Structure 1
Amino acid sequence: MIPLRPLGMGEILDGAVSTLRAHWRTVLGITVTVSVIMEIGSLLIERYLIPQPPELSPNATTEEAMDAAMESLKSTFAALGPAVLLGLVASIFTTALLTNVISRSVLGRQVEFADVWRESRPRLPHLLGLTVLLPAMNIAIAAVALLPGLLLLSTPEAGIPLVALGSLGGIVVMVWLNIRFALASAALMLERQGVIGSLKRSAKLVRGAWWRTFGIMALTILLTLLISMIISIPFGIIALIVDGDGFTGIMSGTGTDFGWSFLIITGIGSVVSSAITYPIASGVPVLLYIDQRIRREALDLELARAAGVPGYGPPPSDSAPRG
């Protein structure tokens, strides 16, 4: 799937796409199943848990409008819990399964769901810990960065600049740490590392290659967003035409009470989008991990032996690209 040498940016992105092409039955079986479950859950949450915005009379006072907005905001945040939980579960399963799909594909080995699941299942609790730890780290950084400014908001001339400065500093620290730990999930799955061990391993592999890792990850995010927009926008337009007042309600500013047909059509668009973008988003960090190990640890020699390339010796009994 990839050349056994240090990889360029284009080869890493092409490798992620090649996995989808070469093993589309297994990859789409994973991504479509996870996406459908995710979308059904999101659809039910949106339909039954998120309340409709309260209707205000034209003569409502500013205080009444503020109270209604706060109530709507509280209800929305309360409904976010199940949505976040669904997203967490979807992320864990797609990351675990697709990481092992790619590791097998790199070696040219047969990729069957039963084999991938058997390899992934013991690592799911560890991946859960890592998936929870990284957002918690970001929340803690944001709290520390914003706290001084928030405490001084009663004095706007001091509090507002501190909030702005803290926001900027917090964003810089979060981006730096998230790139530093971008390869942690691959290390956790393929090297059987623990949560803290995988973070240390990622930091070691990214050291000296932070900007390159940042550029490839940023390009991947932009690419997946672009693909999502290209796929989702037509489905959204069709959903608006099919359901409710369509463009008329949106353009007139009266809004539209979207029904099941709108939610189902947009949900189908999201499933199609996720089925294509999940392999790319999950594959790039794995291929980056392999690339960094090739550059630093001559992993290409180990991969060549594992793949049975002549002249590199017999393959080991366990030929996955692990440490």
Structure 2
Amino acid sequence: MAMQHGVRRGPGPGVVPLRPLGTSDILGGALAALPRYGGPLCGALLLGQLMAGLLVIAAAGAATLASLSPASGSRVFVWTLFPAAALFLLFTCALATALIAVLLRPAVLGRPVTAPGLLRAALPRTPAVLGAQLLALLTGAGPPAALLALGAPAPAVLPLLPVALWLGVRYALAPTAAGYEGLGPVTALRRSARLVRGAWWRTLAVTAPAVVFTGAAGWALLQWFGLPGALAALVLLPAFPQLPAGLLYVDRRIRHEHLAEALATDPRPAGPA
């Protein structure tokens, strides 16, 4: 079997082979990871969400208790709950991405993981991942959103949309880089730009189908099952778009930084990175 730099090019024990990956390898590997690692991944995400949910409820309750009257207390509860819920959603997306980042190494090597182990590894990296996500979103969508907020007509914003798309794809790997390598948000964006250079269209081709699939699955769960379906989507779906992005990140590093050799000779025990 062909060899490259001492690394076997055929299928490995993990969800993808230790070699440069084609688009079908990446999308197939993401689908293969679901039955193999979906249980621990969803379990870790649910545990993190429960922890964050308790904090949201505690914050809203504390604000209500601090109010002076029952009437104002109900208003305080509502006005506290909505921002806390928004923070909860941001935390969910960031935690899901951090979980995928720490899952990449064991998934590629075919090693077992546990939900508590994934969560312990991902939580310290979640703030940097969230910062990278928000910074990437602000960089791409910030100018069009600002123009709309200032009252500019929609046609005036249209020329900015291709730029926003280009920047969004350019920085698509920043959250994974922040979680896998422990980088700060700004450094992660620069890292993503280097990894995506020369592969912009391929990055779009890998990440866009995952986003479309996730949106369609979330809409279907909401339509079929109502609120329970929406709650199920919140647990089951946030991590999936990051799986292809994470495997694309692995592919770019295999092609340019010999990551396959580093993983194949990794002496660390099984478990998250």
Provide the TM-score with structure 2 as the length reference: 0.74
Q: Deviations over 1:82-107 (max 9, x none)?
A: 44222111112211123212332112
Shift of 1:169: 2.0
Alignment match, 1:64: none
Match of 2:215, as an amino acid? L
Are residue 192 (structure 1) and residue 219 (structure 2) matched? no
Gaps of 5+ in 1: 46-75, 151-159, 236-265, 307-314
Provide the TM-score with structure 1 as the length reference: 0.64
Alignment match, 1:25: 39
Q: Determine the C-alpha separation between the residues in 1 that align with 2:46 and 2:105.
A: 20
Q: Determine the C-alpha separation between the residues in 1 that align with 2:84 and 2:149.
A: 28
Alignment match, 2:27: 13
Larger radius of gyration: 1
Partner secondary structure for residue 278 of structure 1: coil
Alignment match, 2:173: 183
Q: Determine the C-alpha separation between the residues in 2 that align with 1:223 and 1:16.
A: 12
- Of 82, 86, 89 in structure 2, the residue corresponding to residue 87 of structure 1 is 89
Q: Determine the C-alpha separation between the residues in 2 that align with 1:116 and 1:88.
A: 19
Q: Deviations over 1:197-222 (max 9, x none)?
A: 11111000000100111121111111
Contact kept in structure 2, 1:36 and 1:271, CA below 8 Å: no
Contact kept in structure 2, 1:19 and 1:102, CA below 8 Å: no
Alignment match, 2:239: 279
Residues paired across the two proteins, number:
239
Give the 4+ runs in structure 1 shifted more than 3 A.
31-42, 76-83, 143-150, 317-322
Q: Deviations over 1:156-204 (max 9, x none)?
A: xxxx5xx51x311221111111110100111111122221111111000
- Of 290, 299, 305 in structure 1, the residue corresponding to residue 259 of structure 2 is 299
RMSD of aligned Cα (Å): 3.3
Are residue 206 (structure 1) and residue 192 (structure 2) matched? no
Shift of 1:21: 0.8
Shift of 1:282: 2.1
> What is the 5 A alignment of 1:120-199?
120-142=122-144, 150=152, 163-164=154-155, 166-199=156-189
Q: Deviations over 1:75-130 (max 9, x none)?
A: x9998634422211111221112321233211222212333233223323322322
